[in-house]
Chain A
Amino acid sequence: MLRWRGEDDGGTRLAASLLFPAAAREEKLMKNTTPGYRRKEIIWSLLFVTPPILGFLIFGLAPLLTSFGLSFMSWDMFTPAKFTGTDNFQYMFADEKFYKSLYNTFYLLLGIPLGMIIALILAIMMNRPLKGISFFRTIYYIPVISPIIAVSLLWQWLLNYDYGIINEFIWNVFGVQGPNWLGDPNWVKPSFILMGLWGGVGGTMVLYLAGLQGIPSSYYEAAQVDGASRWHQFKHITLPLLSPIHFYVVVMGIIGTFQSFSQMYILAADGGPEYSGATIVYYIFQEAFKYFNMGYASAVAWVLGILIFIITLFQFRFSKRWVYQE
């Protein structure tokens, strides 16, 4: 422990000397206790972390601060930005499309519980010593690694009203005309959810599979001795012990859904019928790169960021009540 603290100390001092070179020089004269080889190590370690830190400062922090400033300005990229105070925010809260895209985004959250249920069922099925099980696991995981643009184009065909294989299937099995998936304002979002399920369950399934394999079999054995049914075992052992994974999936799912964009860009040209397919990020994109309202787009982006932050914070607060930590 002591050794570690010592190392820490050196690091802090070096960081301080970087910030205040004059003070460092003085300190060096007074007491130069850090041995040469240690300094060498510290320098090298700093050299190695410099590129990512610079990368973050230039491509992470700088745009972040710029966009914060821009959110109070009006800027079309050519003419100098003008400070407009809270105009962007006032406009946002009065804009019909902002609420529409926000509603659409929240609607898409329905896909998360659905995906979790399906993924859990799949994981339980895949958690058995079957012949060729790794083949099936791979099959279900393939959509996760497929590029979203290609997948979206594929789904455009699957969901085609007249010729799509999904409506063809509905016609053959149920004898009714399937919905106009991407053309009817009421069906655009369910289409996205459907597509999201197909593309997402594989990843969640793998997480659950890992979780399932981490549950000690002694719990089930003990429950069996006590006469618990399969359902009771599932409800009282499997589900609670998977709670850290539920939590992870929900948090990542919500953040991912709030950021969804690519599918809409491909499948819902110009926001889809009656703007029913536009998500909040799509809205930001349109404002920024179609109408070049950079200031306004930054303002919406900040509202989105704050929204995600609050929701995530909220989830962490409440997680203590239901997430079981071993």
Chain B
Amino acid sequence: MVWKGKWVQLSLTMVLSFMLVLSGCGSSNNTAAPEDPKSDGGTGEPSENAKSQIEFMGWGGDTEKAVFQKLIDSYMKKNPNKKVKYTVVPPAEYYQKLDTLIAANKTPDVFYAGGAHFNKLVSSDVLLNLESQLNSNSDVNPDNVWKQGLDRYRYDGSNVGSGDLFGLPKDVGPWAFAYNKALFDKAGLPYPSAKAGEYTWDDMVADAKAITVVNERGKIDTFGVAGYSTESAVWANGADWLDPATGKITIDTPEFAEAMQFVADLSLVHKVSPSPDDEKAQNAYARFVAGKVAMFPMGPWDQPGFWDLPFEWDIAAWPASPNTGKTATWLGSLGFVVSKKTEYPEDSFALAAYLSLDPESQKENYMLGQAVPNLMDMAKGEFLDMEKAPQTRQVFLDIIEDYGRPPVEVTSKNTKWLDTFWQDASQVWTGKKSAAEFVKEEQPKLQKLYDESNK
């Protein structure tokens, strides 16, 4: 009899220790378990005011976290029955964390997604189709939202921009061309034009040469330009990385090579831009902030950092290619998406719509220098009239409406090919290979990588 009792004891202890081991990884999930919606109305259908708890996951630094916490608090105040649990993850770990949660069937209800990752999530059937809710929700007016932003979250499995809606834009991020007014004044040069097509590559190189200063040790102290966008050069010159319709990598064209060489030559030949070695020593951002770079790209999110600068600055249109007379740049975007497995589809959509499109939250966002408003009337109205730099805010809107393009990765599900391109491109930036040689050698390699994971 004693023996039997021991067995009970033994198995009990084993179960307990088993639970102990497991609790290490499981404890955090208990708090996240949403309350049962059925307990509220008893009808099975969550009514308008039913209690719910939504998990919202995003990334960002302290500023972004503070902004979103504020927005969420005001949302919860307006909707006392809707609880939102906000989790912030450092940007570098975000997709790792998200994908692990999805794999573990613990997908947050609302979260950030964008670019190639968004396409992959739609293709893997992780996201909720928002099309019907967009049309039925009376609070949302899609006609007042940048089409360029909204269309980024339409995906039919192969084309971005067509098909149903799977997300709402968190922001539209025009990659603009900033310049240091003080350095232009010092060199006695007129400022670059804010109108697309007026200021060309040649103008820029001439200005950059006039501004660049070499110190007594033979090192360049002040650079004319830094971080020049390769995408802008390539697109302005009429080339592209990829033809999404056929899936062909198109980097081996003369136009592409010429544009890439132009960017490389800014440092290699003209010596007006930091070389990769210079970049290693001090990155271009730090140099611009220190007043040692005259022209430098920026996104709207850079505004708060630049507001504190001791010199005046503004934004201009990206220089146009003399061959085409056109210019281009990328228009980034990140979106709010909803998990297909959410228990509260309506409430999740409502939260995403609030964060994306509520006038109050949009105002808060642009006042803090986080983004251009998603609402067109606001962007074209009060946003343009804002007191703070940059003065010619219209450039941001021009990029959105006119010459901004989705980043290269947007048409891919897997970006390995593009990552490889950037890795290998260092041979061109350092002058080891000419751009023409490089693109010819690189094309087959990228084509293979693209085909493997995107078809």
**Which residues in A have some Cβ–Cβ distance to B below 8 Å?**
28, 36, 39-40, 43, 46-47, 50-51, 54-55, 58, 76-79, 160-163, 180, 182-183, 270-271, 273-275, 289-292
Contact = CB atoms under 8 A, between A and B. Distances in A.
Given A54-B18, A77-B99, A292-B99, A160 B281 contact: yes
A35 B48 CA distance: 69
B280 to A, nearest CB: 4
Contacts of A50: 13-14, 17
Contacts of A79: 124-125
A274 to B, nearest CB: 6
B416 interface: yes
Interface in B95-110: 96, 99-100, 102-103
B10 interface: yes
B277 A183 contact: yes
B427 interface: yes
Interface stretch (B142-150, B188-196, B309-317, B418-426): B418-426
Nearest to B22: A58
Contact of B280 (A55, A180, A271): A180
A60 to B, nearest CB: 12
Main secondary structure of the interface of A (DSSP, over half): helix
Interface of B: 2-3, 6, 9-10, 13-14, 17-18, 20-22, 96, 99-100, 102-103, 120-121, 124-126, 219, 276-278, 280-282, 414, 416, 419, 422-424, 426-427, 453
B124 A273 contact: no
16 contacts: A28-B3, A54-B18, A54-B21, A77-B99, A78-B124, A78-B125, A162-B278, A180-B277, A182-B280, A183-B280, A271-B423, A273-B426, A274-B423, A274-B426, A289-B96, A289-B99
Given A160-B281, A183-B277, A274 B416 contact: no
B99 A274 contact: no
A53 to B, nearest CB: 10
Contacts of B9: 43
A47 B13 contact: yes
B423 A270 contact: yes
A183 B430 CA distance: 10
Contacts of B100: 77
Interface hub of B2, B18, B102, B453 (most chain A Cβ within 10 A):
B18
Nearest to B6: A43
Contacts of B6: 39-40, 43
A14 B66 CA distance: 60
Contacts of A162: 219, 278, 281-282
Contact of B21 (A51, A161, A182, A274): A51
Nearest to A76: B124
A43 to B, nearest CB: 6
A163 B283 CA distance: 12
Contacts of A270: 419, 422-423
A296 to B, nearest CB: 11
A55 B278 contact: no
Contacts of A77: 99-100, 102-103
A40 B9 CA distance: 11
Nearest to A94: B448
A303 B197 CA distance: 55
Nearest to B429: A273
Given A50-B13, A51-B21, A160 B280 contact: yes
B48 to A, nearest CB: 32
A270 B416 CA distance: 11
Contacts of B18: 54
A78 B103 contact: yes
A126 B126 CA distance: 61
A275 B423 contact: yes
Given A51-B20, A290-B419, 20 more contacts: A28-B3, A39-B6, A47-B14, A47-B17, A51-B17, A51-B21, A78-B125, A160-B280, A161-B280, A161-B281, A162-B281, A183-B276, A271-B423, A274-B423, A274-B424, A274-B427, A275-B423, A289-B96, A289-B99, A291-B414
A163 B282 contact: yes
A291 B418 CA distance: 12
A104 B67 CA distance: 44
Contacts of A58: 21-22
B397 to A, nearest CB: 33
A66 to B, nearest CB: 12
Contacts of B124: 76, 78-79
Contacts of A289: 96, 99
Contacts of B282: 162-163
A58 B103 CA distance: 18
A271 B420 CA distance: 11
A50 B12 CA distance: 12
Given A43-B10, A50-B13, A51-B21, A161 B424 contact: no
A46 B9 CA distance: 12
Contact of B281 (A36, A78, A163, A291): A163
A222 B14 CA distance: 60
